[in-house]
Structure 1
Amino acid sequence: MVANISLMTSTPPSRKSVLVRGSGPGLLLAHGAGSDIEDSFGPVIENLAARRTVVGPDYPGSGDNPLPDVPLTLDMLADHIVESAVQSGVHSFAISGFSMGTTVAVRAAVRHPERVTALVLSAGFARRNARLKLAVDTWRALGAPGGDGRVLASYLSLLVGGTRWLDARSEGEIGEQLELFAAGMPPGTDAQLALFDELDVRADLARIDVPVLVVSPSGDLLVTPLHSRELAEGIPGARLATLDCGHAIAAELPAEWAALIDGFLSSVGG
């Protein structure tokens, strides 16, 4: 999902829409819905690329990638990011998934076990419960054609920003943020959010056979910590770490998030 407060398609992923940075072991990024790689991960990419080859593809409907002629599916997105890494010359990799990208990462690990070496699942979920459905349905309604973009931006800012982080912003800073939100929603946002009606990877969790770190923002109002606990409890041997922030980890605690990811991957040889 949107991080800033800041699919296998019918054709191969465009290299123009795939970010590649650094060198060393592979690290594939899976961004949130209504977002893109820079939005979900931007402030941590260079830190992660200091010791790894970071590959960051945008989903269909984000960045330069058009939507396909058929509805998006989770399998499409999982295959899309894996194929993006392979086309970039990275054939095995850990995956760091953020928000909806955690379900993409889990499905990629199940569909491509020969390529995935570890998972980091941040601010994520295994399935959408009634509360998350309410949040996403409201997002889609506010984002419908003819809707007020500033109202949608206000709604999302309240959901993805940690309360302490938002309380520390001035009116001018909030206003600037609302302008960025209102102007920056990817064209495929609604198609990506439509996936939430079918997202459920609980059956996949027990099949994951690689080291996993689950990162839970303690102040997340969009994807609450209950979801992180469900992920950690469902994956054999998964570790659970907490960050004192809201959903938008990259905006609030980028250094701490990068250190968690880097430290975990280094400890498991990724």
Structure 2
Amino acid sequence: MPERLLAPEGTSADIGEFTHAGATVIHEDFGSGPHPIVLVHGIGMGRSVYLDLTTHLDGRIIGLDLPGFGEAPEPPRTLTMERHADLVAAYLRSRGISDAVIVGHSMGSQIAAEVAVRHPDVVSALVLAGPTVNSASRSIRAQAGYLLWDLLHERPVVLWRGAREYLRGGPNLVRKMRATIVHRPENAYPRVRVPVLVVRGQRDPLAPMKWCREILDMVPDARFAEIPDHGHGTLISDSGGAADTILDFVRSL
């Protein structure tokens, strides 16, 4: 049985596995209310990194471990961003959800965009936090360099939370990184038809301001928020500020 990681003690939570087309996610679903907030993590991470963030959110919260991350088993083949989106959408349909606010961080932003385009019946809005992959730096070397620079300047909580998950990702991380880099999110963004909030940390090298402006220009209904003095892991390093930004957006829907 998967661990209880996000739901506060004394809170009723549904924790388990969901499998579709040969790939499995671990889900942790708790709270109630419209527009459930679905947390989709980045590469090398898992739902556990959002432990602090969920203490500042309210309503219905769903944390996911994507296939091969966190507690979710490694799939037979590395999933593309499109296949990840199909899996997340199938899970949401299985829960009867048609109004999800998908908070996609880093790689998760690419998956979120594909969910909105491929499966608009399950989503009401997107939050793209530290959106990747910058179209001007689409290579493993460039992205790894930006990630290293970011980690050298991140707060200890980001390193502590992320280290465990990166270690669990193991030898498959390079293959998974390739899957993120070959994806072209700019092909999806102009077709997104739900409200979008783009969030970046002011010092985020993986989501530079130029790239975020491109996304804002491509998405028909997009707004922007920047969290000062934080990097790529701002949902972790400034969980209170990030949660306030997300909740303000959700309440405006």
The normalised TM-score by structure 2 is 0.80
> Which is worse superposed, 79-88 or 201-210?
79-88
> Which is worse superposed, 85-94 or 21-30?
85-94
User: For 1:35, which of 45, 52, 65 is the aligned residue?
Assistant: 45
Cα deviations across residues 213-256 of structure 1 (Å, max 9, x unaligned)?
11121101233232222211110121011111111113321101
The CA distance in 2 between the partners of 1:196 and 1:179, in whole Å, is: 18
Amino acid in structure 2 at the alignment position of 1:13: T
**1:232 matches 2:219:** no
Give the greater-gyration-radius structure (CA). 1
Richer in strand (by share): 2
Q: What's the % identity of the aligned pairs?
A: 26
Aligned 1:111-190 pairs, distance under 5 A: 111-125=118-132, 127-130=134-137, 133-136=140-143, 156=148, 158-160=149-151, 163=153, 166=155, 177=160, 180=163, 184-187=167-170, 188-190=172-174
The CA distance in 1 between the partners of 2:225 and 2:96, in whole Å, is: 31
Is the Cα contact below 8 Å between 1:217 and 1:225 reproduced in 2? Answer: no
- Residue aligning to 2:112: 105
Residue 210 of structure 1: how far off its partner (Å) = 1.0
Residue 9 of structure 1: how far off its partner (Å) = 5.1
Residue 132 of structure 1: how far off its partner (Å) = 6.0
> Which is worse superposed, 87-96 or 24-33?
87-96
Aligned 1:60-79 pairs, distance under 5 A: 60-79=67-86
SS at match of 2:120: coil
The CA distance in 2 between the partners of 1:69 and 1:109, in whole Å, is: 26
- Residue aligning to 2:195: 211
The CA distance in 1 between the partners of 2:202 and 2:91, in whole Å, is: 32
Is the Cα contact below 8 Å between 2:54 and 2:61 reproduced in 1? Answer: yes
Q: CA distance change for structure 1 residues 46 and 266 in 2, over 3 Å: closer, same or farther? A: same
Residue 63 of structure 1: how far off its partner (Å) = 2.0
The CA distance in 1 between the partners of 2:135 and 2:28, in whole Å, is: 29
The CA distance in 2 between the partners of 1:179 and 1:120, in whole Å, is: 21
Is the Cα contact below 8 Å between 1:21 and 1:55 reproduced in 2? Answer: yes
Residue 27 of structure 1: how far off its partner (Å) = 1.7
CA RMSD, 1 decimal: 2.9
Gaps of at least 5 residues in structure 2 are 1-18
Q: CA distance change for structure 1 residues 256 and 77 in 2, over 3 Å: closer, same or farther? A: same
Q: CA distance change for structure 1 residues 22 and 132 in 2, over 3 Å: closer, same or farther? A: farther
User: For 2:54, which of 45, 48, 54 is the aligned residue?
Assistant: 45
Q: CA distance change for structure 1 residues 183 and 267 in 2, over 3 Å: closer, same or farther? A: closer
Amino acid in structure 2 at the alignment position of 1:202: E
Give aligned pairs, total.
232
Q: CA distance change for structure 1 residues 36 and 213 in 2, over 3 Å: closer, same or farther? A: same
User: For 2:235, which of 250, 253, 265 is the aligned residue?
Assistant: 250
- Residue aligning to 1:262: 247
The CA distance in 2 between the partners of 1:222 and 1:127, in whole Å, is: 7
The normalised TM-score by structure 1 is 0.75
Is the Cα contact below 8 Å between 1:125 and 1:231 reproduced in 2? Answer: no
Amino acid in structure 1 at the alignment position of 2:235: A
Q: CA distance change for structure 1 residues 183 and 81 in 2, over 3 Å: closer, same or farther? A: closer
The CA distance in 2 between the partners of 1:238 and 1:180, in whole Å, is: 32
Is the Cα contact below 8 Å between 2:97 and 2:122 reproduced in 1? Answer: no
